[in-house]
Structure 1
Amino acid sequence: MHQTEEATNRMLGQLPGMTELVLVRHGESEGNVAATQAREAGAHVIDVPARDADVELSATGRDQALALGRLLSEVPDERRAAAVWSSPYVRARQTAELAVDAAGWPARVMVDERLRDRELGILDMLTSAGVEARLPEEAARRRWLGKFYYRPPGGESWADVVLRLRTLVNDLDRRHSGQRVLLVCHDALILLFRYILEDLSEREVLDIAATSTILNASVTRFARPGGVGEWALETFNMADHLLSEGVPVTEHAGEANVHPR
Structure 2
Amino acid sequence: MSLRAFRVAWRITRLNFRAQLEYRSEFLMMIAIGAVWQVSVIVFATVLLTRFTGMGGWQSADVLLIAAIRMLAHGLFVLFLGRVHGIGQHIQEGVIDTYLVRPMPVYRQLQLRVFPTNAIGDLTVAAGLMAGALSRSDLDWNAGRITYLIVCVLGGMLLEASLFTVVACASLRFPAADYWGRWLEELLGTFGSYPLNVLPKAVGGFLTFGLPLAFVAYFPAAVLTGHGGDSGVPYWLAAVSPLLGAVAYLGSRVLWRWSLRHYTGVNG
TM-score, length-scaled by structure 1:
0.30
* Structure (1 or 2) with the larger CA radius of gyration: 2
Higher strand share: 1
Higher helix share: 2
TM-score, length-scaled by structure 2:
0.29
Q: Which has the higher contact order (CA 8 A, sep 6+)?
A: 1
